[in-house]
Amino acid sequence: MDCLKGVAYTLSRPLRIFVIAFCLVIVAPVNADLTEVAFTIQATNSQGSATYEVMTSSLQYDPTEQHWWWDMSGSFDLVDSGTFQTIASINGLSMSFIADPQISFGFSVQAGAFDTTFSIGSGLLSFLTIDPAIGLASGGLLLTDTNNNTASLTGLHAGGGAYVAQYNGQAPGGSTFAELFTSPLTTTVNGTNSINQEFPGGGIYSAIGVPVTDISAQFSFLLSAGDIASGSSNFEVIPTPSGFLVLVGGLLAGRKRRRRLG
């Protein structure tokens, strides 16, 4: 195992066990799965509603790394199929799903002629149960006024946030790990405004407290007419260090049993 070749046996035994455990975790198959619909954007205003979906079958996939990814080139309009009115435009979209697990995506959208509600979210990434689990979530928003009358973006999730990272259920119906951007974002006339947030902050992880089997993430907000919102996000979950040690303890115990049986 290449990862284990770098383990220095001059290290203390506890530290050596931890390093071995980490190596075993990162090379072990994760057996992750992604729902048929990998990504959805829905836009709604007084002129109607339109939805754009990206299917998992359309994503590029690396089976060795268990990594799905996709990038959209160009831009296009979201049009109501009944009224044929342009509800909004998508100017950019990218996504990445990693079996570790981790979900990252970015977008740029423009509201139509009226204030427009957007729901922009990932599919459900499921994996072998992580227990105990810790996680972190981060995101950024950029708001641009395009029509000389200021711009505003208001979060529509339960706590007033524009973004949620959730586990054990498809967002917005799962359990919330983090809700970001809970205050409205505004600009001056012809101006821009941006914000970045992370939870728990400082690049550290926060305990989740229950076994985790899947994750997803979603932006939901009201955007002022004609204006542009761009966003990015990242949500990842990992085992705690004690989880690594439990794993390697079980593996070592299994090897001892096999030796006795042999």
Q: Is residue 254 in some structural domain?
A: no
Tell me: pLDDT of 260 over 80.
Answer: no
Residue 148 tokens, joined: 């000389």
pLDDT tens, residue by residue, 162-171: 999 999 999 9
β-bridge mates for residue 110, sequence order: 89, 228
Handedness of CA 54, 106, 98, 33 (dihedral sign): negative
Share of the chain above pLDDT 70, in %: 80
Tell me, what's the pLDDT at 262? 47
Q: Is 9 exposed, middle or buried (0-12, 13-18, 19+ CB in 10 A)?
A: exposed
* 172 assigned to some structural domain: yes
Residue 16 falls within a domain, yes or no?
Answer: no
Q: What was the pLDDT predicted at 242?
A: 59
pLDDT for 9 equals 42
- Tell me if the bond preceding 239 is cis, omega within 30° of 0: no
pLDDT at 228 (0 to 100): 98
Q: What is the pLDDT of residue 73?
A: 82
What is the count of structural domains for the chain?
1
Do residues 72 and 188 touch, judged by C-beta distance below 8 A? no
**pTM (2 decimals)?**
0.82
84 within domain boundaries: yes
Question: What's the mean pLDDT when you consider all of the chain?
Answer: 87
Residue 221 is encoded by which pair of tokens? Answer: 């907000």
Residue 261 has pLDDT above 50, yes or no: no
The H-assigned helical ranges of the chain are 2-5, 13-27, 241-261
**What is the band of 257 on the pLDDT scale with cuts at 50, 70, 90?**
very low
For 177-228, write each residue's pLDDT tens digit: 999 999 999 999 999 999 999 999 999 999 999 999 999 999 999 999 999 9
Average pLDDT over residues 143-161: 97
Residue 22 placed within a domain: no
Q: What percent of the chain has pLDDT over 90?
A: 78
> What per-residue confidence (pLDDT) applies to 240?
87
Instruction: Identify whether 28 is part of a domain.
Output: no
- Whether 25 is covered by a domain: the verdict is no
CA-wise closest residue to 237 among 146, 140, 103, 119? 103
Q: Give residue 32's pLDDT.
A: 87
Q: Quick check: 37 pLDDT over 80? A: yes
For residue 133, give its domain range: 33-240
Tens of pLDDT, residues 88-123? 999 999 999 999 899 999 999 999 999 999 999 999
Give yes or no for residue 28 having a pLDDT over 70.
no
pLDDT at 135 over 90: yes
Question: Using 50, 70 and 90 to split pLDDT, how confident is the model at 82?
Answer: very high
pLDDT at 10 over 50: no
Q: Is residue 79 part of a domain?
A: yes
Per-residue pLDDT band at 136 (split at 50, 70, 90): very high
